[in-house]
Amino acid sequence: MSTFACFDVETTRLDPKVGHVIEIAVVLTEADGTPVGEEWTTLVNPGTTDVGRADIHGIQAEWLSDAPQFGEIAGDLADRLSGHIPVAHNKNFDVGFLAAEWSRAGFGKLDLYAVDTLPMARAIGLPGKLEKLANSLGVPLDDAHRALGDTRALADVLVALLDRGADPSPCPVFDPPMLTPRPTGRVLHRPVGAT
């Protein structure tokens, strides 16, 4: 079976037409929970000082001035997802934002399909909200509403759901578009000790 590429974004708004990605993370895992490679996360400069609900995601505008813009990390993101089955919790939200940012960066259409753990959980009678779902499965969710914290929990939630017989929707491995930019290696993490 293919490796799963779990991902999550933090955003300035709830609508990708007006909001922007300000943090992203990808964690690779096998279906049995074996981690694959290194975790990847970065803050993303949205090109505005409006970071939205900092009381939820904890990201401060001043952290983002030196962060790479989405176009600078698009190749890194594609590289992380390439050849793996993408997974998100409430995929329409995360996929919608990545597709919007990809297009705004001038790279055309992003065909990104993902397994969605939200309907997987609901199909077996578990809660839909990631925090409640993780708790019900005994999965730690440290740093909720932080892209890396949510993505780590998502990887463990996926494995727990698969162990309980939840059926993921069929999903192809991610194949980057032909005109995908090269990875830059640019990242900027939250300041140490930031909540």
pLDDT digits (tens, 9 = 90+) for 4-54: 999 999 999 999 999 999 999 999 999 999 999 999 999 999 999 899 998
Cα gap 132→158, rounded to integer Å:
14
Cα gap 64→58, rounded to integer Å:
12
Put the strands of the sheet holding 4-11 in their side by side order: 35-43, 21-29, 4-11, 85-88, 115-116
Task: Determine the pLDDT at residue 192.
Answer: 81
Cα gap 145→113, rounded to integer Å:
22
Domains detected in the chain:
4-163 (3.30.420.10)
| pTM, to two decimals | 0.95
Task: Determine the pLDDT at residue 87.
Answer: 98
Q: What is the pLDDT of residues 85-106, one digit of tens each?
A: 999 999 999 999 999 999 999 9
Burial of 47 (0-12, 13-18, 19+ CB in 10 A): exposed
More confident residue, 161 or 169: 161
Q: What is the pLDDT of residues 111-152, one digit of tens each?
A: 999 999 999 999 999 999 999 999 999 999 988 889 999 999
Query: For the chain, what's the residue count?
Result: 195
